[in-house]
Structures are given as structure tokens and as C-alpha cells.
Amino acid sequence: MFRTATRSLSTAARRSLKIGVIPADGIGKEVIPAATRAIEALGSDIPKPEFIDLVAGWETFTRTGVALPKETVEILRSECDCALFGSVSSPSRKVVGYSSPIVALRKELDLYANIRPVKSVAREPGHESPVDLIVVRENTECLYVKQEILTTGDNGKEARATRLITERASGRIGQMAFELASARPRKHLTIIHKSNVLSVTDGLFRETVRAVPKLPKTNGKYDDVTIAEQLVDSAVYRLFREPEIFDVMVAPNLYGDIISDAAAALVGSLGLIPSINAGDNFVMGEPVHGSAPDIEGKGIANPLASIRSAALMLRHLGYDTGADKLDTAVDAVLRDGKVLTPDLKGNSTTEEVLQAVLKRL
């Protein structure tokens, strides 16, 4: 896993690891505590974890009128080494004064890369199905700049949204993707775009990412990475038809969000898919699933994505041993197949799945 140099160089000497904990809404309040308990179970494999409870989300907004309090951002910046974020119950309608706190956090902390591994786990080792890929999603631009206007014209109401693609952001996410691809056995990178239609915005993204290996600062580092391209619509089709062709996929914000959710269907559930939001100076783990209000409070949410997100976060900081132990424990639970939540056709609770992971730790 690609690591930020400023963070990984300082981790070895730490006596404690200060982790901001933001469960936010819905099942985030159930699965993030499971992840913190799994981290605690690692013992001496990581510095002593200190969890700092923070708030953000729709429920915070309904109580205070602010979805992302300034105090949360400041504490993350000044006191935390990393963070875990749960899920947000953002409404599908416009609410005056409300904006998604996770989108805002990514911008505030310059977490420009959302890294989402999707890997299948077979019941028996050595019989894995051909799904082992990473979606690298640009995290700060595209339509997520949230610049929308509503006007009235000859056709009645007209809604317009600004889509922003910059050379700087595309270059940063491109380098992150090449770094990941160069560290994997296949060394294969697929650039996802729709430049046959959006020739200016997607064209800039495509050209900038392709140019990364030619930059003087890379000094031939990525010459062994094979570059492919795929239009986003055909990429989704081919994900389901032949997922084995993909290794690392890099995409603008919206496409990356859609592709990684679609890829989750290949391995059984969104409840298995982790991610990290990474920048040059901070990393935040975040399970890919949403707030799942239909199962909130029932104690059946799948905690495995949050535990894997904790593992990704730790690996990004240089704690490979602890991260490997978390991933190995989750793999063992999935291979055993006896303790699974309903999203994986099981009948176990969140706590029972967590206990199964802790037992293997």
C-alpha cells in the first residue's frame, strides 16, 4: 500500500497512536466501535491506541445546525494521527445549510485519494475467484465540488452543475494509482473515463494520468506498469463479465464511486468493502457502505468493512504486522462461513461476527 512519507517516517517512534473516531450516522455507530475494539486487540503490534471521539453527520446537523463542526476538523488536524469515519445519512433532497460532512472532510484535510480494494475470499485457500482489484478514486473534484444552480427558462426549471477537473488533482491521483500498481504483481493500471463524450474534462483527466510516468520526478519508476483505458460504461459491463482483467483502476470522483460500489457486488456485499481517504499528511479509514437506516439499531450490520478499513489505515501508516493480522482474521471468518451477518446470507449479529474476528486475533 502506498504510504505518505511524512507519516510513515515518524510512526516507528510513537508510543501512542491517536485515532479520531467519527461514527456519524446509522450503522456507523455500530461498526466503527467494532473496528476500534479490533484495533485494541492488536496489542503490541501497534503503539497504544488512544481514541478521540468526534462528531459529524446528519444527526449532528439536526441537533446543532452544523454537519461538520469546526472543532472536529481542528482536533483531527492538531491532535490525531489518523481517523475512522462511519457513514452519513445525507438526505436526497436539498436542505438549506446542509452539506455532506464526509465530502467536506476530504477537502478540509486534502484527502485527495479514496483507495478501495475489492478482493474475493474463497472458502478454501488457493481457490479464489478472479476478483482482486483496487479502485483509486479522485476525492476532491468532479461533480462533488457541489456547485449547482437552479434557474427558470423557456423549458421551465433548469438545473446545472459544475464539473471540475484540474491538472493538479488528476496528476496527484494518477501518481497514487501508479504507485499502487507498481507495487502489485500484475503492475497493470486502467484509466477510467468518458472522453469520447466529455473530451475536455475527461480528456484532461486521461491525458494527465497517462503523462505521469513521463514526468522527470518519476525517473522511470513506473516504466514497468502497463497502461490500459476503459470507457466508464463498458468498464462496469466488463467488471461483471471479466473482472480478472482489472488490477488497479483510477477514475474521477463520480466514476470511482459508482465503479467501486458495483465491484462490491462481485464479492457478496458492500459490507465487505473497505477504503481509506488518503492525503500527503493524513489518512482516514471509511467503510464503503452507507448508513443503512433499514437495519440501524438491529445489531446485524456487517462490521468487516470497518475492520478492513482499520487495517488499510494502519498499513498506510506503516504498521503492516497489525494490518496483516486484522486482514487474516477477517479472511478466516469469511472462509469458515459459519458466523456471517444477513447481508452475506448468515444470521449472526454484529457482535458475534466481531467476536469471531477477535478470537482469531
Average pLDDT over residues 140-155: 90
Helix or strand holding residue 31 (H, E): helix 28-40
What topology is assigned to 126-270 in CATH?
Isopropylmalate Dehydrogenase (3.40.718)
Contact 309, 326 (CB under 8 A): no
CB neighbours (10 Å) of residue 26?
25
Cβ-based neighbours of 44, under 8 Å, separated by 6 or more? none
pLDDT digits (tens, 9 = 90+) for 346-355: 999 999 999 9
pLDDT band, residue 220 (cuts 50/70/90) = confident
Cα-flanking dihedrals φ and ψ of residue 151, to 5°? -130, 175
pLDDT (0 to 100) of residue 13: 57
> Average pLDDT over the chain, rounded to whole?
93
Q: Using alpha carbons only, how large is the chain's radius of gyration in Å? A: 20
Is 5 a residue whose pLDDT tops 70?
no
pLDDT digits (tens, 9 = 90+) for 273-309: 999 999 999 999 999 999 999 999 999 999 999 999 9
DSSP state of 321: H
Same fold, 1-111+279-361 and 126-270: yes
Please give the Cα distance from 295 to 233 (Å, whole number): 31
pLDDT (0 to 100) of residue 7: 45
Residue-wise over 214-235: b if at least 16 C-beta within 10 A, else e? eeeebeeebeebeeeebbbeeb
pLDDT (0 to 100) of residue 352: 98
pLDDT band, residue 9 (cuts 50/70/90) = very low
Any idea which architecture 1-111+279-361 has in CATH?
3-Layer(aba) Sandwich (3.40)
- Beta bridge pairs of residue 153: 156
Taking the CA atoms of residue 313, residue 314, residue 320 and residue 325 in that order, the dihedral angle to the nearest 10 degrees is -100
Domain parsing of the chain, residue ranges? 1-111+279-361, 126-270
Furthest-apart CA pair in the chain: how many Å? 67
Cβ-based neighbours of 346, under 8 Å, separated by 6 or more? 337, 339, 340
**DSSP letter string, 249-291:** EEE-HHHHHHHHHHHHGGGT-GGG---EEE-SS-EEE--SS--
Is 54 a residue whose pLDDT tops 60?
yes
pLDDT (0 to 100) of residue 35: 98
Lowest-pLDDT range of 260-264, 302-306, 342-346: 260-264
Average pLDDT over residues 60-88: 97
Q: Which of 54, 121, 103 is nearest to 308 (CA)?
A: 121
Retrieve residue 212's grid coordinates: 505521469
pLDDT digits (tens, 9 = 90+) for 162-207: 999 999 999 999 999 999 999 999 999 999 999 999 999 999 999 9
Retrieve residue 226's grid coordinates: 502497463
Q: Which of 16, 12, 171 is nearest to 80 (CA)?
A: 16
Cα-flanking dihedrals φ and ψ of residue 179, to 5°? -60, -45
**% of the chain beyond a pLDDT of 90:** 85
Lowest-pLDDT range of 11-20, 174-183, 333-342: 11-20
pTM, rounded to two decimals = 0.91
How many residues are recorded in the chain? Answer: 361
Helix or strand holding residue 283 (H, E): strand 283-285
pLDDT digits (tens, 9 = 90+) for 115-139: 999 999 876 666 666 799 999 999 9
pLDDT (0 to 100) of residue 247: 97
pLDDT band, residue 229 (cuts 50/70/90) = very high
CA angle 290, 102, 310 (to 5 degrees): 70
Contact 85, 105 (CB under 8 A): yes
Contact 47, 14 (CB under 8 A): yes
